[in-house]
Structure 1
Amino acid sequence: MTASRHPYLFATLGDAAAHLPDELARTLETTLASLQAESAHKGVTLLSCLQAIREVDAADGQPLPVHGRSQSQRWAVARIDRATAGLTQLLELLHAIERVRVDGDACQQVGDHVREGLLLACRGLAEYVDVQLQSA
């Protein structure tokens, strides 16, 4: 079973869809496709968003251009883009927390455990970006 044969099922279940019996997968795909067709005139739907996400969207939610990249390279680049966007947001938050710690009121400060948690999240995202760069 491939994502191209069952796009709505893969958009909903991801790789777990590959473990379904083929007959069940076909039935679910037909059902999901009919639901999608019924709600297509209503605008943005959950299934359309899930499918777009699986189609390699960047941090801004837009699909990455192909530019001669394979699907796996596009996935890696999209993961890098999203991880660096998250890392930037965490670092901006840490910067603001530090300014409040130095110059702000005590009631506005966060505890050491919050700062350490944010630093660990930044480290984890930076390490993840490194791993994705190796695969891209």
Structure 2
Amino acid sequence: MLWPHASVDDHVRETKQLLAEPDRYAMVIAVSSQGEALGFAEAAIRHDYVNGCDTSPVLFLEGIYVVHGMRHQGIASLLRTSIEQWGASHGCAEFASDTSIDNVDAQALHRALGFDETERGVFFRKRYLTRAFRR
């Protein structure tokens, strides 16, 4: 539901990667007493540069989702806390995330979870048009 553009095969491939590297990736799933999934959070430990951060490694929230009927009940906060504890146990002093500049709902969620906005931007690139420039 969070990443509807991804195929089932994409999700299976990513899940296998997450499970194969338990010291780099974590996923936490909130489940009701009836066994229904209520939400999840997925995170990675990043050693590369993370915008707005000064340390390495950095815990990075890759995604967080709570089903519509269960929002505003503290589930996202519990998911965040669980991920934070995992990151701290792996030596992370900073917890980062990102979202698209037009996703105001996700920005509000991040603020509600205690994240501070560090920067905004629109990033560009240009591919070289001819081989002469690649030498």
Q: What is the TM-score of this pair, normalised by structure 1?
A: 0.28
Larger helix proportion, structure 1 or 2?
A: 1
Determine which structure has more spread, i.e. the larger CA radius of gyration: 1
Give the strand-richer structure, 1 or 2.
2
TM-score w.r.t. the length of structure 2 is 0.28
